[in-house]
Amino acid sequence: MDDSRQAHGLVQWHGTTIIGVKKGGKTVIAGDGQVSMGNTVMKPNARKVRRIGEGGTVIAGFAGATADAFTLFERLEKKLEQHRGQLMRAAVEMAKDWRTDKYLRNLEALMIVADREVMLVLTGNGDVLEPEGGVAAIGSGGNYALSAARALDSYEDDAEKIARAAMAVAAEVCVFTNDRVTVETI
């Protein structure tokens, strides 16, 4: 990423919070609804978490440029079709494409994706990461949400309660995160 784009505020992939929590046989991905451009809130109720795949068997959340994220959702859905719903295989194949394809390589987004078996973080560097401890977070408020979720993990057994509480903490601390949360559960 070139420094001039960063210096002029053109890089917007950091402006959100998405958290994934896998606990007690339940996986939750939650995300805020704020779309920011620089210091301006452009939209407070965006839907950054959604179900994908045949029958909605995969949940996904994104941090990054919206158009880029929709491109990645579509690509992942195609990979899921090609690999008969096997999320790990589809994610690895998409990550390969993301890293090597000239068009995809320029997309600025991160994703957390999950099905009943696995939760993964996907990056444009070709990374497919399975988070340790069943908690992952991305975006500008990701570290706040991740810290809150890890602190709550010992005291709370419900994945959705952990995700919602972690998002509330991130919304209080991160100016690019709001409290209009979308939650999807598998």
Question: What pLDDT is attached to residue 105?
Answer: 67
Determine if residue 174 is labeled as part of a ligand binding site: yes
Q: Which of 16, 17, 27, 182 is catalytic?
A: 16
Domains by residue range for the chain, with CATH:
3-181 (3.60.20.10)
What SS3 state is found at 43? strand
Tell whether pTM > 0.85. yes
Determine if residue 40 is labeled as part of a ligand binding site: no
Question: What pLDDT is attached to residue 109?
Answer: 78
Neighbours of 43 (CB within 10 A): 12
Strands (E) located in 16-175: 17-23, 26-31, 35-37, 40-43, 49-52, 58-64, 109-114, 119-122, 128-129, 135-139
Question: What pLDDT is attached to residue 24?
Answer: 92
Residue 182 annotated in active site: no
10-residue mean pLDDT profile of the chain (186 residues): values are 39 72 96 86 89 90 82 88 93 85 73 95 86 93 96 96 97 93 95
Question: What pLDDT is attached to residue 91?
Answer: 93
- Packing angle of the helix pair 142-153, 159-173 (nearest 10 deg): 140
Determine if residue 145 is labeled as part of a ligand binding site: no
Question: What pLDDT is attached to residue 9?
Answer: 40
